[in-house]
Amino acid sequence: MQNFATILAASAAIASASEPRQWKLKVSMEDYTTHYFENKVDHFNGHDNQTYKQRYWYNDKFFNKDTGPVFLYICGEWTCTPPDTQMFPMMVGAEHDALLVSLEHRYYGDSQPFEDWSVDNLEHLTSEQALADIAAFIDGQNEVLGRKADWIVIGGSYPGALSAWFKSQYPDHAVGAWSSSGVIHAIKDFKGFDLDIFMRADISSPDCSNAITQAVSFVER
């Protein structure tokens, strides 16, 4: 297998080429199958044995089971699906005999640790728990594969930050991180972000912006 630096260099050359790349292989959402992984609700409390079902998607159409890497697309703050508009990394993975996987973030879509979003239940909605989810998921999948595969974690924006943080915090779990627009430096008390949401919501309806203001005030008090 080519190393991660080689893969990235080739990918960058493709992305910057003046002529569109004609891909030999086609990655289709129809080739993914849906599965659920039993993950811990709290990875940092040894006395808490609660688990939840974390949804993921799996595409082994191009996978070399003996030597192929795993391209893991990390989903963020939305209901996840196999990557469609973010297909470029998956096409690169397909051309390198990779297993293509997408993992839904806890508390989104079908990956719900609890039946409701009470304040107490939201305690475990943190990036640290999300990173630990990924590590546990990789460990579990390596057992299924029967070997410690070369994992490349992929994401954009918040998941881009997760992919970069993951490589930093769990360096033995991934050979590389593909972070697109990764917001790795969090801004504390980022009022400009709240203001942008408020102004855009206000365009739709003052009732909408007022509801957001009340919700933020309730959380921050």
In the chain, ranges of CATH 3.40.50.1820 domains: 4-186
Taking the C-alpha atoms of residue 171 and residue 162, their distance in angstroms, rounded to an integer, is 13
Q: Is the pLDDT of residue 22 over 70?
A: no
Q: Is the pLDDT of residue 74 over 80?
A: yes
Instruction: Classify 195 as helix, strand or coil.
Output: helix
- pLDDT of res. 12: 54
DSSP of 139-194, one letter per residue?
HHHHHHHTS---EEEEEESHHHHHHHHHHHH-TTT-SEEEEES---SPPTT-HHHH
Tell me the mean pLDDT in the region 166-195: 89
Q: Is the pLDDT of residue 58 over 70?
A: yes
Q: Is the pLDDT of residue 125 over 90?
A: yes
Q: Is the pLDDT of residue 89 over 60?
A: yes
Residue 147: pLDDT band with limits 50, 70, 90:
very high
Contacts of residues 84-92 at CB distance under 8 Å and 24 or more positions apart, as own/partner, are 84/29, 86/154, 86/156, 87/27, 88/11, 88/15, 89/11, 89/154, 89/178, 90/27, 90/59, 91/23, 91/25, 91/27, 92/7, 92/10, 92/11, 92/14
- Residue holding tokens 């806890």? 106
The identity of residue 176, as a single letter, is G
At the fourth CATH level, which superfamily is domain 4-186?
A: Alpha/Beta hydrolase fold, catalytic domain (3.40.50.1820)
Residue 53 per-residue DSSP state:
E
